[in-house]
Chains A and B, each alone.
Chain A
Amino acid sequence: MDQVGSNIIHHVSNSDIAHPIIHLPSIFGVNFSVTKHVLMLWIVAVLLSVVIIVPVRTYLTGSRSVPRGWMNAIEAIVQFIRDSVVRPNVGPKWVMTWTPLILTFFFFILFANGIGMIPIFDILGAFNRFVLDVPAADSHNVINGMLHGGVTATGNFNVTGALAMITFFSIITAGTKAHGFINHWKNLAPHGLAWPVYIILIPIEIIGLLVKPFALTMRLAANMTGGHIALLALLSLMAIFGEMFHSAIAGIGVAFISVPMAVAISGLEIIVILVQAYVFTLLTSVFMGMAINVHH
């Protein structure tokens, strides 16, 4: 029963930097070794280029003007993001400037979230253990080395923090492009108030500037981690009950309740995946719109 908590944490956190999947040398004191989440980021990047960039490029360079098959789906998503996320917030003048960034965010977060729900490495591990008969203790086996850590790259606060940093700088860039560098910073606080108000207002605005990306970081990573913890906690009930009553029957009995509930939570997770990708893009465009369309 003591192992349940550490097992859950092990399944949602990154693998240990001391035992990376691929060893790389340190550059400027930063360890560039590939851990599980970095590997997942690479997989997501490759998948995105194959599934999104290649069809779009072939469509754009080809002679067919009517999209076909998978391209229809991409076009529907692109149009939805452009017309009901970016345009109402950023405004008609800047919509084509910022739609590419927002779309990149959307597809990247959607794919990274979605891959987290697919147990690729667990199936590979089971295949490795039971078909190829590789013992779990064999640490030189490639697949055994990949089993440590969770697969949701967006469940890592560093990844979402990096994404939120892009948002932070794109807010500043959006304001600078629309109003000029000095005016963007002037626009943060309303004009023409009595001077004592500014003593309170300017610190609040500076805090607000930093809280926006921080909240984005926490929201995405905590949502992804939280869902997986709930799933694993429900599945761990089998082990907990089996050990509590010292019988396998109790564990199997609980399975009839906890497995359907885990399936239901998985269904909920699929909604959360879509909603979180949407929320991140929506909030990014809202914040950029606040920098562009200043109305006070």
Chain B
Amino acid sequence: MEATALVPLGMGLIVVGAGLGIGRFAAAAAESIARQPEAADKITGAVNLPLFLLEGVAILAEVFTFLMLIL
């Protein structure tokens, strides 16, 4: 099997990992807002930044897989 044949598989793994991470963020945020609705603004603020950092890692991995595919 050619090496590039595995690249879509890696892309799928990235999506699984990023999805798990974002899902856990969303679940935790929803739970804590349900428990303490008056702190919703603070919780959203605290969740936002790590969420974007996580998204950045996923995007970076996708860019690198894409580069592997075309180079």
Give A residues with C-beta under 8 Å from B: 84, 88, 215, 218-219, 222-223, 226, 279, 282-283, 286
Contact = CB atoms under 8 A, between A and B. Distances in A.
Interface residues of B, number: 12
A218 B63 contact: yes
Interface of B: 45, 48-49, 52-53, 55-57, 59-60, 62-63
Contacts of A282: 48-49, 52
Contact of A215 (B45, B48, B60): B60
A279 B51 CA distance: 10
B61 to A, nearest CB: 10
B49 A222 contact: no
B63 A222 contact: yes
Nearest to A157: B63
Contact of A222 (B45, B48, B53, B62): B62
B48 A226 contact: no
A226 B59 CA distance: 9
6 contacts: A215-B60, A219-B56, A222-B62, A226-B62, A282-B52, A283-B52
Contacts, number: 29
Nearest to B48: A282
Contacts of B45: 84, 88
A67 B62 CA distance: 45
A215 B52 CA distance: 11
Contacts of A226: 59, 62
Nearest to A214: B60
Contacts of A218: 56, 59-60, 63
A226 B58 CA distance: 12
B15 to A, nearest CB: 12
A219 B63 CA distance: 9
B59 A219 contact: yes
Contacts of A283: 49, 52
B21 to A, nearest CB: 15
Given A226-B62, A283-B52, 8 more contacts: A88-B45, A215-B56, A215-B57, A219-B52, A222-B59, A222-B60, A279-B52, A282-B49
A219 B52 CA distance: 9
A219 B59 CA distance: 6
A288 to B, nearest CB: 14
Contacts of A286: 49
A22 B60 CA distance: 34
Contacts of B48: 282
A223 B59 contact: yes
A12 to B, nearest CB: 12
